[in-house]
């Protein structure tokens, strides 16, 4: 009996992939759903058109590298700092903002950073990337330090087990 109970639990777990938090990419995505917000302002630095970081660790940086951890939802705000038309594009994530036209106009993009690696962001207005409007987004594996994962609850009623898989006549007879 002890063996078959263990077997039933094992089968139950196999049939309920969300019962355990490890080894399931969907569960991992849900566990690291922290939001990270970056703000960039367009401007001129060293005679080039650039993105300038606003606030946080990137404040004042020219074309700052935006560092994320896999699974985080990122929002990138773009503020027009000087009036020419601009946008922001991350090709490898398939995201493209509206164009911001006029000083002070703003827009944003948002996506889940589910792939690790280094990805370019840039302004897609013709000539702007070449003129200097590009930087990189770095997405690191694993959790950000100091962030506790929000794991789904795995507690269950101990009596909430599936019915037996087959008739137990043989067990009773023995």
Contacts with Cu ion, residue ranges (CB under 5 A): 86, 123, 125, 128, 133
Taking the alpha carbons at both ends of the chain, their separation in whole angstroms is 11
Residue nearer to Cu ion on the CB measure, 71 or 135: 135
CA separation for the pair 101, 2 (Å, rounded): 70
The residue written with tokens 């827009």 in the block is 107
Measured at the alpha carbon of residue 94, what is the angle toward residues 68 and 83, in degrees to the nearest 5?
Answer: 85
> Least distance from C-beta 104 to Cu ion, angstroms?
15
Nearer to Cu ion, 31 or 125 (CB): 125
- Identify which of residues 40 and 125 has a Cβ nearer to Cu ion in the complex: 125
Q: How far is the CB of 88 from Cu ion (least distance, A)?
A: 9
Instruction: Using DSSP bridges, classify how beta strands 66-69 and 134-140 pair: parallel, antiparallel or unpaired.
Output: parallel
Smallest separation (angstroms) from Cu ion to the CB of 19? 49
31 vs 54 by CB, closer to Cu ion: 54
Residue 76 or 133: which CB sits closer to Cu ion?
A: 133
Give min distance, CB of 16 to Cu ion, in A: 49
Residue 139 CA to residue 141 CA, distance in Å, equals 7
Closest approach of Cu ion to the CB of residue 127, in Å: 8
């Amino acid at each position: 009996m002890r063996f078959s109970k263990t077997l039933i639990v094992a089968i139950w777990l196999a049939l309920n992939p969300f019962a355990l938090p490890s080894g399931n990419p969907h569960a991992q995505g849900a566990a690291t759903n922290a939001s990270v917000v970056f703000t960039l302002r367009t401007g001129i630095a060293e005679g080039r058109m650039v993105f300038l970081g606003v606030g946080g660790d990137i404040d004042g940086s020219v074309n700052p590298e935006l560092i994320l951890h896999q699974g985080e939802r990122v929002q990138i705000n773009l503020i027009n700092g000087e009036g020419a038309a601009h946008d922001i594009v991350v090709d490898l994530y398939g995201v493209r903002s509206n164009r911001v036209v006029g000083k002070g106009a703003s827009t944003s993009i948002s996506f889940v950073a589910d792939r690790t690696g280094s990805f370019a962001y840039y302004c897609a207005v013709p000539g702007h990337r070449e003129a200097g409007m590009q930087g990189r987004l770095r997405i690191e594996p694993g959790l950000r330090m100091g962030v506790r994962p929000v794991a789904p609850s795995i507690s269950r009623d101990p009596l909430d087990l599936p019915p037996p898989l087959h008739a137990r006549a043989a067990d009773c007879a023995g």
